[in-house]
Amino acid sequence: MTSLSSESYKGARDWYPEDMRVRNYIFRTWRRIVKSYGYEAYDAPLLEPIEVYAAKSGQELVNEQTYQFVDRGERRVAIRPEMTPSVSRMIAARRQEIAYPARWYNIGQYMRYERPQRGREREFWQLNCDIFGMDGALPEAEIISMGYDLMKAFGAADDMFAIRINNRQVINFMMAHYLGLDTIQAQLMIKLFDRKGKIASDAFRDQAIDIFGQEAAPTGLQKIAQLLAAKTMADLPETIRDSEAVKEIQELFTHLERAGVKNAVFDITLMRGLDYYTGTVFEFFDTHPENNRALFGGGRYDGLVSLFGADPVSAVGFAPGLTMTQLFLETHGLLPTFFSTTDIYMIVVGDSLRGAAKLAKEFRTEGVNVELDFTGRKIDKQLKTAVKKAIPYIMFIGDEELASETYPLKDTTTSNEQKLSFERVVSTVKDRRRKKTSEEDEFDVSDLA
């Protein structure tokens, strides 16, 4: 019989304990920041009827990227490729009872049938943050500021990333009134702009000509060139600059400036792939030459809640992904050294297993995490195991330690050893944990999923 493959499913990662340390660090940091803005956790099912996405998420996501199947009750369902339609459904279901503005967050797992490549997986994780029930630039500024704070919480400097901002109303105005496109042409042009960074400039030009048609193409291309040259709103053609939607963007920039967000820029070419956005759209970009790509994005989507039969509820949100965040942190050397969540690796000397087990239990009662090695292996093997597992402390326990009630606590990083009373061991371990976690987070055991 041939053996089974030990590889994980294509595009989906296995999460070994050392990988979980990175993931938990990112999740903890996300939670700390969004909770500090008053966002509360929610969750939704892993499966939704396919129509939930078919309505507004866009053809590519629905037709090419969802994992779909017919369940035993003949319902066509999809594994969620994103959260936004589900959370909109939840808001619609309790439209009247919810306290607005509702600020909600979730950290969850998604699947999209994409070609696995750097930064793209088939199974991935996102933080979703959304604010429901408020129009205007203030909630948009809050969401973007929160994204900025997330980056700062990971130690990012302003020049490591840029926030590109545009507005769907500006895009629609530009497509219809400036480029003179009909609805279908405009849709195609939006998708083309969205792919602009990913395709060669010749291909972009050829496809733009196709969309305009031969006759309108020369003027059209000239106008696009003018748009692409605009680096600030002031450079925009007058007809666009004077539109109501551009004023909205200006207001957003004023709020962002007040909030201390320094690296936001206007980008007329930013579209965002999803169909449901109705106003402001934005994306955070990594500026590192080796990882020059979008980190995460979001925007305003006022029409989604009303799809589920409720009166409209305005909504703004964004979703940072784990894959891209991790790549960003690795590329910029921002990942800290991680240790095990176990505090002490207890090594038994001689025949003291019973006494050591009792002591380990007492430490655990005090909230200290102790792994007891009862293998009876050679001491150096046990030591190596502790180091390999990245456990911060080792403790040798034999008859002498048990009799004197003095315990040697050895730091595996510095090799310093202190002989301490039971209480001092507990306080030393907890102090270290508090210090380590306060560098990144207040310690919250429930966060360590």
Given the complex with ligand HAM, which of 298 and 303 has the nearer CB atom? 298
What is the sign, positive or negative, of the torsion defined by CA atoms of 28, 33, 36, 41?
negative
| Residue 147 engages ligand HAM in binding (rule: CB under 6 A) | no
| Residue 137 engages ligand HAM in binding (rule: CB under 6 A) | no
- For residues 198 to 237, the per-residue mask of contacts with ligand HAM, x marking binding by CB under 6 A and - elsewhere, is ----------------------------------------
CA 116 to chain CA centroid, nearest Å: 18
Nearest approach, Cβ of residue 176 and ligand HAM (Å): 24
* Strand 123-132 with 161-167, pairing: unpaired
Number of residues that bind ligand HAM (CB under 6 A): 24
Given the complex with ligand HAM, which of 118 and 361 has the nearer CB atom? 118
Per CB under 6 A, the segment of 190-198, 231-239, 256-264, 316-324 that binds ligand HAM is: 316-324
Among 30, 296, 345, 393, binds ligand HAM (CB under 6 A): 296
| Residue 392 engages ligand HAM in binding (rule: CB under 6 A) | no
Phi-psi region of 346 (alpha: psi -120 to 50; beta: other; left: phi over 0): beta
Nearest approach, Cβ of residue 322 and ligand HAM (Å): 7
C-alpha closest to that of 48 among 98, 83, 94:
83
Is residue 58 a contact partner of residue 304, using CB atoms and an 8 Å limit? no
C-alpha closest to that of 449 among 13, 11, 38, 109:
109
| Residue 24 engages ligand HAM in binding (rule: CB under 6 A) | no
Nearest approach, Cβ of residue 53 and ligand HAM (Å): 10
- The b/e string for 130-169 (b: 16+ C-beta within 10 A; e otherwise) is bbbbbeebebbbbbbbbbbbbbebbebeeebbbbbbbbbb
Nearest approach, Cβ of residue 225 and ligand HAM (Å): 27
Is residue 77 a contact partner of residue 53, using CB atoms and an 8 Å limit? no
Distance CA 189, CA 195 (A): 10
Distance CA 344, CA 441 (A): 21
| Residue 154 engages ligand HAM in binding (rule: CB under 6 A) | no
| Residue 130 engages ligand HAM in binding (rule: CB under 6 A) | yes
| Residue 104 engages ligand HAM in binding (rule: CB under 6 A) | no
- Strand segments, DSSP code E, in 291-442 are 294-300, 315-320, 344-348, 370-373, 393-397, 407-411, 417-420
Nearest approach, Cβ of residue 413 and ligand HAM (Å): 33
CA 9 to chain CA centroid, nearest Å: 22
Residues between 29 and 88 with contacts to ligand HAM, criterion CB under 6 A: 82-84
Given the complex with ligand HAM, which of 168 and 410 has the nearer CB atom? 168
Using CB positions, name the residue nearest to ligand HAM.
321
Among 137, 150, 240, 324, binds ligand HAM (CB under 6 A): 324
Q: Note the residues at the interface with ligand HAM (CB under 6 A).
A: 82-84, 112, 114, 120-121, 124, 126, 128, 130, 274, 294, 296-299, 301, 317-319, 321, 323-324
